Amino acid sequence: MAAFLESLRKPSITNQPPTPSEQRRNDLLMIVAILFAIFLGAGMRNTAVSAMRSFALGGQLPTLSYPAAWLEAQTDGVLFRAIDPASPSTFDARVELFVRDMKEGETLDQISTSWPLRRTQELDRFRTLSAAAVKGPEGTPALLVTYAYIADPTRESGSLGLPVVAKGQALLFVANNGIGDRLVVATVAADAAEWASHADAFAGIFASLGIQGGE
């Protein structure tokens, strides 16, 4: 066996070993090939990350775009929900849409007060962190509310996972669907510890609605 291994180490008798310049050329070609593979992989990843799907709200309402890798999830009380199945947390990052007809005489200013009160009843330890006036589709007034609450994502499955501090943003605006004014509420949320890693996706979601807002 030792003799066999030694024979493999010896230069071939039919081929001359490469000269120093040839060896440098071969090393350079190897480096170029490796760099090309790295850039190609990064480009494919960026394309996959930036790919989006769309959900039409109907009528003349704007269309929501969200990351193509996210999955639609059925839920009661909202028009649409999609979650990020790759979220490391037990609380998947998500986007939800709620749409309803405006009540007679109702204004966005009134909703800016009633909506947080409603969420206080729906979400555990709900707390508004900030509220800012932004421009909605076609420059219409809109409200961007940043908030936090306690989520218990494993409770429904009977598991004993720890609760999660969730951070969210809600975009509220009034849009006309060709029949009448409707309140549109688009919310995004994630584990507060992972908020920064989803910030670009959330900003893209809001931008698809014609909003320049979000963190």
CATH number at residue 159: 3.40.1000.10
The encoded tokens of residue 183 equal 């309140």
Length of the chain: 215
Structural domain that includes position 70: 52-208
Provide mean pLDDT across the span 182-205.
95
Question: Considering Cα of 117, then 123, then 127, then 131, what sign does the dihedral take?
Answer: negative
Q: Which of 109, 96, 193 is nearest to 143 (CA)?
A: 109
Cα 40–Cα 46–Cα 48 angle in degrees, nearest 5: 105
**Eight-class DSSP state of 194:** G
Residue 2 is assigned to a structural domain of this protein:
no
Most confident of 4-8, 9-13, 133-137: 133-137
Confidence label for 99 from pLDDT (cuts 50, 70 and 90): very high
Indicate if the pLDDT at residue 47 is higher than 50: no
Provide mean pLDDT across the span 181-210.
95
Q: Are residues 93 and 140 in the same domain?
A: yes
Considering the chain, what percentage of its residues have pLDDT values greater than 70? 78
* Type of residue at 150: I
The encoded tokens of residue 30 equal 């190897």
Residue 11 is assigned to a structural domain of this protein:
no
Number of domains in the chain: 2
Higher pLDDT, 9 or 78: 78
The encoded tokens of residue 92 equal 């998947």
Q: Are residues 172 and 117 in the same domain?
A: yes
Q: What are φ and ψ of residue 192, in 5° steps?
A: -55, -30
pTM, rounded to two decimals? 0.74
Confidence label for 206 from pLDDT (cuts 50, 70 and 90): very high
**Eight-class DSSP state of 174:** E
